[in-house]
Every structure is written in C-alpha cells, then in structure tokens.
Amino acid sequence: MKYVQITRELFFKLLSYHLLDKFEEKEEIEKGLEAKLNTMVNHEIYSKSKTAPTEEEREKSRQEYLDRVGIHPDFRW
C-alpha cells in the first residue's frame, strides 16, 4: 500500500468539511487536492522517464513530463 502525504492545513479542512459539515472551504479543498494530484502525476511520469524498459518509452515519458511542467524540450543547461 502506498501513502499520500498532504499538508496539515488541508487535512484539517477535509476533517471540518466531512465531520463538521463546514462547506465554506470546499473550493480550497478542491484546489489543494488538485495540486496534490498534479504533483503525483508529474512524479509518476518523471519516474517512468528514468525507469522505462525501452529508450523509446523513456523519451516519450521525458517529453510528456517536460510538456506538463512547461519546459521547452530543446532547452539545455
């Protein structure tokens, strides 16, 4: 089983939303969860770009990661 870490603030907002029926913070909760999901997807794609079995798959994942984070593929240090 894998675990996902969220900020303490987001955790307490989720608790108050579900247990105390405080629906005022719904938009903030959605933004926080969406940001976490995007971070997880980026990490998964980056990992795949380093560990894919074939060079083609690694390059495809690398390009996808660069597109997601907004780095031009021709950029070099």
Write out pLDDT tens, residues 4-53: 999 999 999 999 999 999 999 999 999 999 999 999 999 999 999 999 99
CB 54 within 8 A of CB 62: no
Looking at residue 58, what DSSP letter applies?
Answer: H
Name the one residue in this structure whose structure tokens are 């579900």.
18
Q: Is residue 4 part of a domain?
A: no
Domain membership of residue 28 as a residue range: 24-77
Degrees, nearest 5: CA angle 63-67-34: 125
Q: Is residue 33 part of a domain?
A: yes
Instruction: State the CB neighbour count (10 A cutoff) for residue 25.
Output: 15
Q: What is the pTM of this model?
A: 0.77
- Domain tally for the chain? 1
Q: Is residue 68 part of a domain?
A: yes
